[in-house]
Chain A
């Protein structure tokens, strides 16, 4: 109980733009506004063909609703500040980095290689230093999954430097 109060107090002492409430409010409002503006660029159905509402009307309504509700939660947070979340640890950022690596490698080099690199990277950074287990999660297991999906579902994975060796 005391801990929660301390956390709340700690959050209260921060300038408003550092508080989680504001950050969440800002991000939602920012993206909702951009999306709302983009709905004005949607094509319109000519009146003669239009049945009911225009295609942009429904998403517009939803975005206005999201902006309105977000404003309410921000207003309510003045009365009841959110508890301050713990700082994110290093492995979290490394895992996010591995996702970025995955996207780059799968786009430029190879899908299978991307899975392997991510698996080894994540496993290593989460504390696994034994080579056998790194090879297990990075090569053996993805290979089994790859072959399993390919054989059972007849799936064809996107071409790449390693995948091509398998297919040709």
Chain B
């Protein structure tokens, strides 16, 4: 099934993903968005294989920086810093990275198995969905994003609504009436996904880096990555399996994927541990809990992306864009009409997990050296690639300016506690939300109450209410 070309793509994607993961501020979302134009030179399967391998390896790559310089390469590796760096400071960087590598691989493979079995079931269920059900599902996704995402749920909701609002710019897809175009012709086609993603992630990060120039990293030397000892395995196998399950489940929910998964995986590892007092001081279980969970979220996040066309994370939103660009429509029909394509993606994700294990095990020392490139050299280079990458998709200079605008906006959003991920998810779900709402109202002859007569839609609405109530219950519990 795998041609040599596909294998080359997979190896390149894994290496590129590792580099992106290692570099703080970059990550699989930005990297995927930047490489998207180049996928146009590939066939659809190779393109998606490239993006998914970047996703898997990039998520793991963040652990290398987390352990060695106490800075998460990706937000998903934030929890890994808590124990990875203290363990490295004790002279056991190799052991910490070994555990991170093994647990990431197990988590990743576990989630691919979940993907293989669960995605077709969900796709089958989706045959029961009409426009009202899809609308309710999209609303459920957005409320979940607000409730279990990072930071304030209300701010997340505002960001999600803003993302949907951006998707309304341009010609209305049902009536061709201009909305928010203000006479600018280029805006008639709407605002592209890539300028927004690159702006919100890469350019806003460049601005963040400009405020951190006096930051000094304390690096820990790494001799070699060590495979965990038998004792370590005995101590952590339950944690790894638990976190793999948690990560896969969180990944399926539309949220910040690995970031939330790793935090929950970490806190659950602490709750079940016989030595919870060791957490934060270099606990091997802490590393296993966080790393297994964040990589398990990769396969989980692909489940709704492929089965329903609803992304489970920001990176899967980029993958979804890749699918659409290449003329592949995710959803139940994809499972019936192009099973080979899906098996290709499943197989590629499985191999990517094995590849990053090998590269991580033997090359972590080399990848860690990439962080030695100073920001004053690195970020102008990233800017040049971002500008050309953004321009290349529709060859429009307006896209580059939009990218800069969202870069500045993203910086201030993050500064004041608004996550940028809901904007991305809102943007990609916007057309679905509005389209299904309007078509549902046509079906219901304008009667909004008819939504309540559809059992599946009603279930999603109730789940949405629960999701909205969840942060309130959580904060009350914390106060008590």
Contacts and interface: CB of A to CB of B under 8 A. Distances in A.
Contact of B388 (A72, A119, A146): A146
Given A119-B383, A128-B377, A158 B388 contact: no
A108 to B, nearest CB: 12
B380 A138 contact: yes
A161 interface: no
Interface in B162-215: 162, 164-165, 168, 172, 174-175, 177-180, 182, 206-207, 210-211, 213
B168 A145 contact: no
Contacts of B379: 122, 126
A127 interface: yes
B384 A88 contact: no
Given A66-B161, A103-B401, A106-B400, A43 B177 contact: yes
A137 B377 contact: yes
A54 to B, nearest CB: 9
A40 B247 CA distance: 45
Interface string B408-448: 10000001110000000000000000100111011000100
A62 B166 CA distance: 10
B383 A115 contact: yes
B175 A55 contact: yes
Interface string A97-128: 00100110011000100010011101100111
Interface residues of A, number: 66
B442 A52 contact: yes
A39 B379 CA distance: 39
A28 B416 CA distance: 12
Given A103-B401, A128-B377, A35 B180 contact: yes
Interface in B395-415: 395, 397, 400-401, 404, 407-408, 415
Nearest to B40: A153
Interface stretch (B149-157, B236-244, B301-309, B459-467): B149-157
B127 interface: no
B372 interface: no
Contact of A58 (B155, B385, B434): B434
Nearest to B385: A145
A99 B400 contact: no
Interface in A33-85: 35, 38-39, 42-43, 45, 49, 51-53, 55-56, 58-59, 62-63, 65-66, 69-70, 72-73, 76, 82, 85
Given A58-B438, A69-B154, A126-B210, A45 B384 contact: no
Contacts of A38: 180, 182
Given A56-B179, A137-B381, A158 B211 contact: no
Contacts of A152: 38, 41
Contact of A28 (B158, B210, B417): B158
A118 B383 contact: yes
Nearest to A72: B154
B391 A123 contact: no
Contacts of B401: 103
B392 interface: yes
A152 B441 CA distance: 46
B21 interface: no
A86 B407 CA distance: 20
B203 to A, nearest CB: 8
A75 B74 CA distance: 33
B33 to A, nearest CB: 15
Contact of A141 (B155, B161, B164, B381): B381
B274 interface: no
A66 B162 contact: yes
A24 interface: yes
Interface centre among A28, A69, A76, A157 (most CB of B within 10 A): A69
A37 B255 CA distance: 32
A153 B161 contact: no
Contact of B384 (A51, A63, A141): A141
B161 A115 contact: no
B27 to A, nearest CB: 20
Contacts of A85: 415-416
A65 B158 CA distance: 8
Contacts of B40: 153
A157 B175 CA distance: 34
B350 interface: no
A39 B408 CA distance: 25
Given A99-B408, A103-B401, A155-B391, A122 B442 contact: no
A96 B441 contact: no
A52 B383 contact: no
Given A59-B168, A66-B158, A106-B397, A52 B446 contact: yes
5 contacts: A70-B158, A96-B207, A120-B380, A126-B375, A153-B38
Given A65-B157, A153-B41, 7 more contacts: A52-B174, A52-B441, A62-B161, A89-B211, A136-B377, A141-B381, A149-B389
